[in-house]
Amino acid sequence: MKIRHKTRIKICGITRIEDALEAARLGADYLGFVFYPPSPRYIAPAGVREILRGLHAAGLERVPEAIGVFVDASPEEIVAVRAEARLDGAQFCGDESPEDVARTTPIRFRGMSLETLDRLGRYNAEAYLCDTHAPEQKGGTGRSYDYDTLQPYIYQYPIIIAGGLTPESVGGVISRLHPWGVDVSSALEARPGVKDLTRLRAFIAVVREAE
């Protein structure tokens, strides 16, 4: 039988202090900051540093870990961005090889598409973020799929389910699969880069209730 555990929650695509504060107050475990300039959720390292400064000044019981989301960035660039933004770790969402990933530490998450699940375990990552693949774009797609296809892997690896999760669907996914974590971005937005705080609150509440 699958042992139940606390589901880690990653709220990605953060660009505003208001959204970061609310996610932190609600108990999110990770905040994702996108360092991929073509993305509408891109944020500069200095902007992340200001958001994190605000979180630490807010007197919160706990500040979520800050995760930089990178797409085919060089190890040197990632090291520089992490230092400037004061990140806790990196998430890789491009075509980086295991060797490239190994050159950057600490590694938190490796993004995997459903088409590359056979490569799970090749990367020295804390967890694997699984999403659908879209040839026309890099990173997350925001599209839902048959999450049950991940079930065989959840028993072997720390899997973060991503892609199309909503406050309406995430409870059932957690109740059935009990993944290591869940990741959400566009499904909680009022517009790209701006979270709908009502949906943010609902998402985290449903996750905690379903655990």
The phi, psi pair for 160, rounded to 5°, reads -105, 120
1, part of any domain: no
Tally the domains of the chain: 1
Q: Which domain holds residue 188?
A: 8-210
Of the ranges 74-88, 100-114, 184-198, which one carries the lowest mean pLDDT score?
100-114
* Secondary structure class of 142 (helix, strand, coil): coil
Q: Of 12, 19, 93, 183, which residue is the catalytic one? A: 12
Give the separation between CA 198 and CA 18, rounded to whole angstroms. Answer: 13
Token reading at 125: 């990552």
Is 12 tagged catalytic? Answer: yes
112, part of any domain: yes
Identify the CATH number of the domain in which residue 31 sits: 3.20.20.70
Which residues are within 8 A (CB) of 42 and not within 5 positions of it... i.e. 6 or more apart?
34, 35, 36
Q: What is the per-residue pLDDT for 142?
A: 59
Mean pLDDT score across all residues of the chain: 90
3, part of any domain: no
Token reading at 195: 């979270």
* C-alpha distances out from residue 22 to 52, 62, 86, 196, 201, Å: 13, 12, 20, 11, 8
| pLDDT tens track for 92-148 | 988 888 887 777 766 688 888 877 888 887 887 889 999 875 545 555 555 788 999
Q: Of 19, 29, 93, 131, which residue is the catalytic one? A: 131
* Secondary structure class of 33 (helix, strand, coil): strand
98, part of any domain: yes
